[in-house]
Structure 1
Amino acid sequence: MPYKHGAYGELIESTQQISTLSQGTIPVYVGTAPVHRLLDYKKSINTPLLINNLDEAKTKLGYSDNDRFEDFTLSAAVYAHFKNKIQPIGPIVVINVLNPEEHFKDVENDSVILVNKIGYIDNYAVLGSVKIGEFVSGTDYKEEYTTDGKLKLTIINPEISSPVSISYKKLDISLVENSHIIGNYDPATDRRTGLSCINTVYEDLNVVPSVISAPGWNHIPEVESEIISLCAEIGGHWKATCVTDIDPVVKTIDEAKNWKVSHNYINKIEKVCWPKVELDGQSIWMSILTIVRMQQTDFSNAGVPYESCSNKQIDITGILFEDGTRTRFNQEQGNKLNEKGITTVIFYGGKWVVWGPHMANYEYGITEAESSHYGDIFDSNIRTNIYLSNDFQLRNAAIIDSPIVRNDLDGILNTEQMRLNSLIADGKLLYGKIEFIVEENQNSDVVQGNFTFSTAVTNTPPAKSLTNKIQYTSQGINKLTDGGGI
């Protein structure tokens, strides 16, 4: 550096990057996707993928608008988020467990009719696995998936004539088991699968998971219990809620209520849904549509989940049971489910709406009985408090391992109180106060660098019911008789 004496200034290139970090509602889905349509499908297996739009879903998951939701649950989530007619919404995080190298069966001597040297395989053929005798793929013939989900064969070598005999690997979704969804972590290889991959979503994608679901497997208790455990502590400190389903074989309201209790779907960080619904002619898990409605509602509130998704419109055409039977629920029937902490769908106000402002812990007459449970009555209360916890961690991450003095503590208190005051001013909280209580910060904790703040909040309650008491009075009769003499 040359000798300098005086005041100087320099313009340098900015190194700041736009952060994708979000504390809005980011759903995470674990399930199956048609990655057999991708040549490089390996990077789409047991890896958290951020999906912002349909184009990304096609390139990262092999998605097609024509996918069967029963086979590809992640395609159902993509369709519901980005193709719904109310408000396409994202991003979402998906984790696909379907592996074309593991979940397949061999198909031998299949026959394809060629028209102008082009044929189609209307099957779940794994891209790159097609064999035509001794001919060479890429030289004698070419294979590619079309936008409607069919494998297109283009013949290059004139020696190949119609009909052509082929062999290939066919995806076998029935081989996907509960264990693949639950997954595991192998410390020896640092490899994660299934739900375990959610623990690295923040590190991999720079987003905090806020709602977790595994539609198609949520109704299986061993899967649900893993999801509940994960939501309590993701990656060591993040918290989330989850949305699950009651087994679709259940066909009556009483059976649904009994099933929920007998299978222990009663956690306060869990929203339980029943039954399935219909979207554009396909049966789809209600957990997906509920999450879509959550994200839409939260987006309109700057990402703060203080408003319930209940009584908000969803894009469906009806309610379905597993056997395809159609049904409908009115408000009275919906309330019978709500009073046991089950979220459903009713036709109300001229539209289909999510119906149920509670989480799975709720039971009418019991949850309200103890004052300690007041904060656990509504889904918006629970989700808001989880939001506040995660938000505090995100905004104060840079302070960790820095020297801290009393002015720093006061600075944190002032900043956090301003944040609470802002939420109160917006109506997202009724009350909020943060304190640094001496009794909760003993010398033995402080010398180890452990500092505890205590925040008390009063959540904004939803208007669960409005009652207008109408009573007859005879006072109006006087208007007929007063001043009416001759």
Structure 2
Amino acid sequence: MSFYHGVEVKQIQTSIIPPRKISASIPVFIGCAPIHRITDQAQAAKNGDVVLCHNNAAAVQALGYKSTDNFEKWGLSEAAYTMFTLYACSPAIFINIYDPAVHRKTVLNEVVTIDSFTGQLQHDDIIISKICTIDGIECKRNVDYSITKLTGKIKILRNGILQSAESVLATYTYAAPEMITANECIGGVDLDTNKTTGIQLVDRVFTQYRVLPGVIVAPGFSDNPSVAAVMATKAASINGIFRAIAVADLPTTITNPTQVPAYKNKKNLVQEDLIVCWPRAVFNNQVIRLSTLAAGVIARTDANNDDVPYVSPSNKSLQMQAATADGKTELWLGLDEANYLNANGVVTALNFIGGWKLWGNRTACYPDVTDIKDTIISNRRMFGWYGNQLILTWWQKIDEPIGHRLAQTIVNSEQINLNSYTASGYILGGRIEFLEGENSSLDLMDGIINFHINWGTQTPAERIQFSLEYDPDYLSTLFG
């Protein structure tokens, strides 16, 4: 040490480390967005992009969506509308898998009847169009006609060459998101380009934005059991270490609750990190997938409870006005039918007391698995959320020397954290221990240190019972 004459101050690392604050319910939506509508394509969420949006305006700019979109085609429009308009929750992550340069179809010389100076193409969401007279003379846009690309509506201008036309020929290219396959949604890594696509892009969320996915949803694709299975697999191992929950739908071919258990078992939808939803919802004459609404309910419930996922989303209000199985006919489930679905590990929508509610506490692994850590949605999410927090909090201590100071710092800090959770009512109680029996000499010599945490999460009051008994002693009140 060099010579020093005077007063000196040194800073020592704090012996108590505060926990890393994380959000439990940030949703990641994988699906199709109508980005071909966006004028400034530099702002568009192109296929392969991972986009974080905090409000409706940002989503419109990145996704090109409108609240009146056909949500069956444009799943990310449904997601943005649900999160920012119906539930006013943010932020949300969007992964678009639609590519207008690839997922498009062309129509040649479609004959369009003109009536009262207007005509209608057979398809909407037009990307490129050309209008000709019936004998093949090409017309000029905004001189002879105008076209609304969103709806495919043609308007004939009165001073152009089509002013007397009874029909025209239209050649155009339109957006066709229905061309996207389940394999494209599942995605992967292209060995030639090293480009990551589909659900595998969930791993990019944390590295790009430093936020952790809480809920994975794929509106328009999760009703494919292969997609749902991969969603659950990804939810169980994001970046190889983090954990979330996946929410999936059952297909519209299921029109009766009695069909659900057989389909669910046949398609192997039995993962503990998966929530299965049926049927669909209707709001403002729009059919909305229940998985998307469930993500909104989860986000709103967490936001109302300090952003800690200890409260079940079941029996919380759904923004819907009707239920439907096939998107056409209204469906009314009784309490017995809703409970039948719950008993088979399916979350549903119930209009019984207090309006439409999300109904169900069980993950997809129920009833085959009975461990409440895995079968109860709020418990499953709490274990994942706290595990993520442990990783983020103590990553800073990786490669520190294994000694008494490190062990005590972790034990003391986490015990304070668990005590705080208990006092706040998030858990029933918890303790952390550094046990000699779980730390062999070989492990410690090899750089492996183990801590044991016991805690009690709060199971939702799924069944409240009262016992009523007639007491004849109260007959004496008849005589004063």
CA distance in 1, matches of 2:366, 2:464: 20
Check the 8 A contact 1:143/1:151 in 2, yes or no: no
CA deviation string 1:34-90 (max 9, x = no partner): 111124176521211112111111110001111001110111111111221xx4112
Aligned to 1:401: 399
Pick aligned residue for 1:326 from 313, 330, 349: 330
Q: TM-score, normalised by structure 1?
A: 0.83
Aligned to 1:453: 451
CA distance in 2, matches of 1:345, 1:88: 20
Q: What does 1:194-343 align with in structure 2 at a 5 Å threshold?
A: 194-322=198-326, 324-343=328-347
Matched, 1:96 2:96: yes
Pick aligned residue for 1:62 from 60, 64, 71: 64
Aligned to 2:12: none
Pick aligned residue for 1:71 from 70, 73, 91: 73
Q: Could you tell me which amino acid in structure 2 is paired with residue 99 of structure 1?
A: D
Aligned to 1:14: none
Q: Once the 2 structures are TM-superposed, how far is the Cα of residue 397 of structure 1 from its aligned partner?
A: 2.5
CA deviation string 1:394-433 (max 9, x = no partner): 1223222344532122111111111111111111111211
Q: Could you tell me which amino acid in structure 2 is paired with residue 445 of structure 1?
A: D
Q: Once the 2 structures are TM-superposed, how far is the Cα of residue 141 of structure 1 from its aligned partner?
A: 11
In the alignment, structure 1 segments of 5+ residues that lack a partner are 9-19
CA distance in 1, matches of 2:57, 2:152: 19
Q: Once the 2 structures are TM-superposed, how far is the Cα of residue 284 of structure 1 from its aligned partner?
A: 1.5
In the alignment, structure 2 segments of 5+ residues that lack a partner are 9-19
Q: Could you tell me which amino acid in structure 1 is paired with residue 423 of structure 2?
A: A
Query: SS where residue 421 of structure 1 aligns?
Result: helix
CA distance in 1, matches of 2:458, 2:238: 27
Q: Could you tell me which amino acid in structure 2 is paired with residue 25 of structure 1?
A: S
Query: SS where residue 200 of structure 2 aligns?
Result: helix
Q: Once the 2 structures are TM-superposed, how far is the Cα of residue 470 of structure 1 from its aligned partner?
A: 1.1
In percent, how many aligned pairs have the same letter? 28
Range 24-33 or range 380-389, more displaced:
24-33
**Bigger relative contact order, structure 1 or 2 (CA pairs below 8 A, ≥6 apart):** 2
Q: Once the 2 structures are TM-superposed, how far is the Cα of residue 110 of structure 1 from its aligned partner?
A: 6.4
Aligned to 2:17: none
Query: SS where residue 311 of structure 2 aligns?
Result: coil
CA RMSD of aligned residues (A): 3.5
CA distance in 2, matches of 1:21, 1:109: 59
Aligned to 2:412: 414
Q: Once the 2 structures are TM-superposed, how far is the Cα of residue 160 of structure 1 from its aligned partner?
A: 8.4
CA deviation string 1:13-42 (max 9, x = no partner): xxxxxxx98433111111111111124176
CA deviation string 1:97-124 (max 9, x = no partner): 111010112244569999xxx9998821
Check the 8 A contact 1:141/1:153 in 2, yes or no: no
Check the 8 A contact 2:46/2:98 in 1, yes or no: no
Q: TM-score, normalised by structure 2?
A: 0.84
CA distance in 2, matches of 1:131, 1:403: 71
Query: SS where residue 317 of structure 2 aligns?
Result: coil
Query: SS where residue 45 of structure 1 aligns?
Result: coil
CA distance in 1, matches of 2:76, 2:257: 28
Matched, 1:186 2:187: no
Matched, 1:360 2:364: yes
Query: SS where residue 126 of structure 2 aligns?
Result: coil
CA distance in 1, matches of 2:207, 2:327: 42
Q: Could you tell me which amino acid in structure 2 is paired with residue 89 of structure 1?
A: C
Taking structure 1 as reference, are residues 436 and 111 closer, same or farther at Cα in structure 2, changes over 3 Å only?
A: farther
Taking structure 1 as reference, are residues 412 and 145 closer, same or farther at Cα in structure 2, changes over 3 Å only?
A: farther
Q: Could you tell me which amino acid in structure 1 is paired with residue 126 of structure 2?
A: A
Range 35-44 or range 390-399, more displaced:
35-44
